[in-house]
Amino acid sequence: MPTGFVCQLHYQGGGSLLCQTSTGDSWQLPFAHAPPHVRIGHAVSFSLAADRAGLAVDLEVIQEKTAKPSAHAEKGLRSIQEKAAKPASSFAKQPTRKLQRSIARFYNADLEERLQMIEAAESFLSDLLNAVELDGDAICKLLCRSAGWLHAPGSFEAKHVAATEVAEVSQPSGPSDLQRRVRGLLISALNSLDLRDITTYQAVDTAVLHILQLMQGKETLFCVSGKFNFDFALWLNLPRPQQVIMSFVCQLHYHGGGSLLCQTSTGDSWQLPFAHAPPHVRIGHTVSFSLAGDGTDLAVDLEVIKEKAAISSATVEVGLRSIQEKAAKPASSFAKQPTRKLQRSIARFHNADLEERLQMIEAAESLLSDLLNAVELDGDAICKLLCRCAGWLHAPGSFEAKHVAAREVAVIETATVSQPSGPSDLQRLVRCLLISALGSLDLSDITTYQAVETAVVYILQLMQGKDIFFSGNGKSLAMRQWRQLRELLVSETAPSGPAKRKASIEAPAVLQDKAARRVSRDRSAAIDGVYRPNERVRSLAWTTLNSWIFVTTNVEGRCAKNAAGVKFALTTANGNYARSAVGVAFASTIAKDRCAKIVVAVAFARTIASGLFAGSVVAAAFALTIANGRIARSAAAVVFALTIADGHSCNPVEDWLKEGSMNMNRHSDFADLQAVLIFSAADEVLLTFVLNPVLGEFPRGWRQVGHVVVEYFLFVCWLLAAEVMIACFARALCAGDRPEGQKQWVIHDTLRGDHGNPVAESSIVFRHTREKSVAKIGQLEVFVTVEDLERQASERRTKCWSMLFAHMAGFAMISAGGDLQHSEFFRENWIFSLLSVVLNVLFLLLIFWISARLRPRGDESDADSEEAAPVDLWNNHAIEAEDELFCLAISFLLVQALRFQVTGILPTKAGLEPGENFGAREIWTVYGEAVLFAVATVAVVLSGRTGRLADLLRGTLSMSFAWCLLFASRWMFESWPLLVRLRISPFSIEGRLILSLFLSAFACSVIIVLDQIEDAATGDDRRVTHKIVKNIVTGLSILVGFTWETTMDGCTEAVVSITHGHERRRLVSKLIGCFIILLVVLPAWRRYILHTVFKLMKYKKDQRAAWKLAEKLQKLDPKSQDVHGFESDSSTESVAEPELTC
């Protein structure tokens, strides 16, 4: 182990040390294991690799200053100390120095600390990528910090694995490889950045160079089709700026936006467009610039170094002297040149950040809207606005045109197409603004053309060589806008001479009156306090002129540009709440400055078009989204509104009331959705404010054991709360039975809208019957039956809260079991993870045994019968709730272990694998497991085994089938190239919505097929088929409910992400959103869906009684031919009244 003396510190590519030993040997050592406080003059010890390569693997500082350094070291140290060094503050803030500290901190940490650092970085990156506003600075900082954790490909340093991996292999593989997670983290971070942008590249230059340096000489690793190799080759094989060039400004050209003629010290000349330079660049300034990767003359980081530089080249002196001898215009005239104004506009827009650019565009749109809606068209103001905004336009297909607004959530991919697209593209807004301005001007007029000549020439110059945008039938919005711009500029030829307008013989007052009463063909206007739309709107077949006359006296003759305008338009449009999508889209368009909210308006129109306005909560959510001035959270608001409206759109008169399987599916869907939303919000609050401050965010050792114990204790609390709620609503805690309600006649016809409503005693036609009869309502006779409405309402409340708390207890068990699976022992491999599932099964069976002993016992009876005693009702609902949570929790944990076996990666508690993309092998393997679970469910049913354990086994297998189907479908959508290219994979809200719709459609199709199979079954096969269908439908309900829960959870996170800087406000906002959904959806679910489920259960009970009676009649009279017809009678009375049935 040689010892050396630090002579030099190099910071390029992660940093390295130049050490000299006592024998005079020099060693270039990368800064790997050294602590961050190594300085010149320190004595260090290091070891070499087996091949004698200069690799410091255990670099360690021995002492601050050695007493007697060697003569070579003293000479090197003395020569270094004589050089002028930067101050300590500047030295500490160098990017390479930060990377040096990051490398040292990671290498000096043990495996557990490294795992904690990686997990914290993954969590932070996930929050950044899921935020509404993509914080590029934070991602760049995270990338620079994490790049130091990466080892060279194939090096023995890269073979360090986490504490969970036992065996070391020659290649960095395995389920717990730290380097695999580091590479996944870096790939995700690089995926979200555009390295073609010079600002972004400069922020991560040190990290990129460090990674590229690690890859040098490792070409063999990039020639095979590996995931790590392919992704790094994809994201790092990008055009990168070359070295920074210093030059001297010799000339300024203002044609087409302006350009600089610069000369370097070697005499080279560069013609650079005025892109990123500040507006105060003058002749004689020293500037620095860099070139694009292909060597094109593009000043992408033009920066003024100093006002006057010392002339360092004879060539530059000659050029500067020849320029200074020329007569120049005065400064005032020079500053007022149109091209100079355009130059300042370009600089101001390019030097602004995304938020400032958006504000500039919105201000210009507002001004242009005011000018176009004014009584007198101010052409001078429109020309000035056009000249100012023309500098904001980028060339078609340039990478500069791919900047999107801060409200865009989706990650920018490097494989995007050349034309700018997307709902939030700033360039789309700029092009729309220029089209509106040019459409209002007459370029054939010489005065108008001279006023906008600079802007027109600049735009035409940007279009040169971009014929692909103006030929063909491209239907993208960008290509259509470019073609429209070209038509506006090219169709009107520039006038050749100074043409003069004819003088009008009419008086100015007459002209003003004509202008005030004239409605433009292409523009809307407010005349005499009355809003009149343009001819296109007035020519629509579905409306009349009077429908769109809006009195705007209170807003000073302008269309309302706030949320009140939307309400005003909706109220006055045809006298109702605008039930057509076109009307709402039009109202949303005129209420704001831009037309970007059509999709939201149409979705909102479909929500309220059903005649049920879905409460004031939907209107408030939509109004807040529109009034925000930005539409960043539109998708979340629409899904939020549709979810709330779904609870109130459940009208019992619809046809699906007759479909039992569909209703049972919808019934479980709502229970899953509500339960997981409430539990996730409560669990996050508990973790943030209680567990994490006490035990830490990533507990280890005894803290991890304590965390698992607390999670199981919380599960017991949720289960106890479920038991107490069931007992309270069943009135089993009160003395005696429940009080009897008054029975009364109600309508018993599911095809009527008043089904279930009570009728007067006097309207009963046949009074001698006890439970069923006919009543006369109006001129019709309808079937009626006797029911105890109060008892039914009590049973519905009991069923509602038992299901809700059972599912919340199930998710609490999933959280506790997930923590047990992620403990140090059980996450070793998939077998140990499967062992934790077995322990959870034993734990739950023990808890159920104890709860059964603590509950009072009663006579066994059917929980659905009206004669069920309170204690029996408590026992039946409690057993059903326990079975629900058992199947839900154990099936999820079982599928987690199986996915661990398939992929080699243990998913998180939420079932996610951040930073991982799986191929067809993993996807089809999990699909195959889903088929096996479905076959096993059918096999258990056909075996004929009964009892509680058999029910638990059937329920667990059916729900496992649903979980496998869910996760395999999610992987398929995440790896679908088309969805990834369109940025609508399940990582975004739109992708989650598409996945939910796909799985919902699939579940509905399967249920319809199963319902037909069940109806076709006869005899003894009917009961077996019913059990099979019931278990499969239960699994599909979990599938649909959980997919919509992930969608709603993402929407809630997007809505509350406005408070991402305040953790407490974010959690409070999420809690409020979850409880709003609960308050709106829960009553509708209990009042309509649960009520329908109870009626279907009673219908099934009557049908079973009819089957039994038919079997008895067939035994008494085998020649009877009425058995099949009797079986199909849904209104047949029970066995207790055979005379009425016959």
The residue ranking higher by pLDDT, 595 or 1006, is 1006
347 part of a folded domain: no
Report the CATH number that the domain containing residue 39 is assigned in CATH. Answer: 2.40.50
* HEC assignment per residue over 147-171: HCCCCCCCCHHHHCCCCCCCCCCCC
- 640 in any annotated domain: no
Is residue 756 pLDDT above 50, yes or no?
yes
Choose among 307, 254, 601, 220: nearest CA to 461: 254
What are φ and ψ of residue 930, in 5° steps?
-60, -40
Burial of 705 (0-12, 13-18, 19+ CB in 10 A): middle
pLDDT of 523:
54
pLDDT, tens only, 225-254: 444 443 444 444 444 444 567 777 777 765
The answer on 892 and 925 residing in a single domain is no
**Cβ atoms of residues 865 and 1097 within 8 Å:** no
With contact defined as beta carbons under 8 Å apart, do 29 and 17 qualify?
Answer: yes
Q: Is residue 537 part of a domain?
A: no
What's the N-to-C CA distance of the chain in angstroms?
A: 103
pLDDT band at residue 781 under the 50/70/90 scheme: confident
The larger pLDDT score, comparing residue 1123 to residue 491, is at 491
- What pLDDT does 524 receive? 55
Residue 110 has pLDDT above 70, yes or no: yes
In this structure, are 901 and 979 located in the same domain? Answer: no
- The DSSP letter of residue 1057 is G
1105 within some domain? yes
- Residue 764 DSSP label: B
Nearest residue to 795 (alpha-carbon basis) of 1090, 1082, 1105:
1090
Q: b/e per residue, 200-231, with b = 16+ CB within 10 A?
A: bbbbbbbbbbbbeebbeeeeebbeeeeebbeb
- Closest among 119, 256, 293, 136 to 203, alpha carbons compared: 136
Same structural domain, 819 and 771: no
Per-residue pLDDT at 478 exceeds 90: no
**Considering just the CA atoms, what is the radius of gyration of the chain in Å?**
37
Nearest to 201 by CA among 242, 160, 247: 242
Q: What pLDDT, on a 0 to 100 scale, did the predictor assign at position 865?
A: 43
Most confident of 100-104, 388-392, 746-750, 1020-1024: 388-392
Domain that holds residue 1081: 919-1142
Confidence at 29, pLDDT banded by 50, 70, 90 = confident
- Specify whether 966 is located in the same domain as 1015: yes
Give whichever of 255-264, 501-510, 822-831 has the largest mean pLDDT.
822-831
Element (H, E) at 245: strand 245-253
Which residue in the block uniquely carries the two structure tokens 């008892």? 791
- On the CB side of 368, CA atoms within 13 Å amount to 30
In this prediction, residues 776-800 reach a mean pLDDT of: 78
Nearest CA-CA partner of 673 in 1037, 1124, 1137: 1037
Residue 627's pLDDT band, with cuts at 50, 70 and 90, is very low
Of 854 and 479, which is predicted with more confidence? 854
Look at residue 272 and give its three-state secondary structure. strand
77 neighbors 58 (Cβ within 8 angstroms): no
Please report which confidence band the pLDDT of residue 894 belongs to, taking 50, 70 and 90 as the band edges: very high
Residues 277, 372: one domain? no
How far, in Å, CA of 961 to CA of 679, rounded? 24
446 band by pLDDT with thresholds 50, 70 and 90 = confident
Token pair recorded at residue 70: 């060697």
Pairwise CA distance, residues 940 & 949, whole Å: 11
User: Which amino acid is present at 274?
Assistant: F
Asked if 521 and 535 count as a contact pair (C-beta separation under 8 A), the reply is: yes
713 and 848 housed in the same domain: yes
Report which of residues 981 and 661 the model is more confident about.
Answer: 981
Is residue 554 one of the residues assigned to a domain? no
Is residue 777 over pLDDT 70? yes
**Quick one: pLDDT at residue 1139?**
33
Would residue 571 be called left, alpha or beta, if left means φ above 0 and alpha means ψ between -120 and 50 degrees? alpha
Structure confidence at residue 364 (pLDDT): 92
Considering the domain architecture, whether residues 425 and 437 belong to the same structural domain is answered as yes
Judged by average pLDDT, the poorest of 712-721, 738-747, 810-819, 974-983 is 738-747
pLDDT digits (tens, 9 = 90+) for 819-831: 898 888 888 888 8
The verdict on residue 620 lying in a domain is no
Tell me which of 474, 490, 506 is where a domain ends.
490
pLDDT at 1141: 29
Do 286 and 368 share a structural domain?
no
Task: Point out the least confidently predicted range of 379-383, 1003-1007, 1055-1059.
Answer: 1055-1059
Helix, strand, coil % over all residues of the chain, rounded to 5? 60, 5, 35
Q: What is the mean pLDDT of residues 598-621?
A: 41
| Mean local confidence (pLDDT), 429-453 | 87
Report helix, strand or coil for 977.
helix
Q: Looking at the domain assignment, is residue 495 inside a domain?
A: no
Tell me the pLDDT band of 905, cut-offs 50, 70 and 90.
confident
Determine the pLDDT at residue 964.
92
Q: Kindly indicate the confidence band of residue 986, based on its pLDDT and cuts at 50, 70 and 90.
A: confident
Closest by Cα among 311, 334, 216, 212 to 265: 311
Residue in 946, 1092, 1090, 1089 with CA at minimum distance from that of residue 1023: 946
pLDDT at 996 over 50: yes
Q: Kindly report the backbone phi and psi dihedral angles of residue 545, in degrees, each rounded to the nearest multiple of 5, phi listed first.
A: -65, -40
For residues 30 and 135, state if they share a domain.
no
Span 740-763, average pLDDT: 76
Give the pair of three-digit tokens for residue 1113.
């009649």
Looking at residue 465, its amino acid is G
CA distances from 382 to 337, 373, 430, 1058 (A): 18, 12, 15, 36
Which of 450, 475, 490 is the last residue before a domain boundary? 490
Confidence of residue 532 (pLDDT cuts 50, 70, 90): low
pLDDT at 840 (0 to 100): 92
DSSP 713-730: HHHHHHHHHHHHHHHHHT
CB atoms within 10 A of CB 546: 7
Alpha-carbon span 333 to 318, nearest angstrom: 27
CA proximity to 101, closest of 9, 181, 176:
9
| Maximum separation of any 2 CA atoms in the chain, in Å | 125
Question: For residue 520, what pLDDT band results from cuts at 50, 70 and 90?
Answer: very low
When mean pLDDT is compared across 292-296, 686-690, 1109-1113, the lowest value belongs to 292-296
Range from 317-321, 549-553, 764-768, 825-829 that averages highest in pLDDT = 825-829
- Burial class, 1124, CB count within 10 angstroms (exposed 0-12 / middle 13-18 / buried 19+): exposed
Residue 860, token pair as written in the block: 């066994």
- Copy the structure tokens of residue 221: 């690793």
Cα 494 to chain centroid distance, Å, stands at 49
More confident residue, 1117 or 346: 346
Q: What is the mean predicted confidence (pLDDT) over 807-825?
A: 87
Count of domains for the chain: 7
Instruction: Label residues 624-639 b or e (16+ Cβ within 10 Å = b).
Output: ebbeeebbbbbbbbbb
Residues 201 and 327 placed together within one structural domain of the fold: no
Q: What is the pLDDT of residue 933?
A: 92
Q: Is residue 783 located within the same domain as residue 795?
A: no
Contacting residues for 731 by C-beta, under 8 A, at least 6 apart: 737, 738, 794, 870
> Residue 392 gets which letter from DSSP?
T
Q: Is 298 in the same domain as 217?
A: no
Has residue 576 got a pLDDT over 50?
Answer: no
pLDDT for the residue 614: 37
Residue 45 CA: distances (Å) to CA of 71, 103, 143 = 18, 18, 30
Per-residue pLDDT, 769 = 63
Report for 136-140, 254-258, 425-429, 984-988: range of highest mean pLDDT: 136-140
Q: Check: CB of residue 370 under 8 Å from CB of residue 441.
A: no
Q: Give the whole-angstrom CA distance, residue 176 versus residue 1070.
A: 33
- The Cα 791–Cα 737 span in angstroms is 12
The answer as to whether 687 is a domain residue is: no
Mean of the per-residue pLDDT values for the chain?
67
pLDDT tens, position by position, 553-564: 233 333 333 333
Least confident interval from 52-66, 131-145, 193-207, 451-465: 52-66
Tokens representing 1082 are 């829960």
Residue 95 burial by CB count (10 A; 0-12/13-18/19+): exposed, middle or buried? middle
- For residue 72, pLDDT over 50 is answered with no
Give the residue from 787, 815, 843 where a domain finishes.
787
By the 8 A CB rule, do 386 and 488 touch? no
pLDDT at 221: 59
Helix (H, G, I), strand (E, B) or coil at 1061: coil
What pLDDT is recorded for position 205?
81
- pLDDT (0 to 100) of residue 932: 93
The percentage of the chain sitting over the pLDDT mark of 70, rounded to a whole number, equals 57
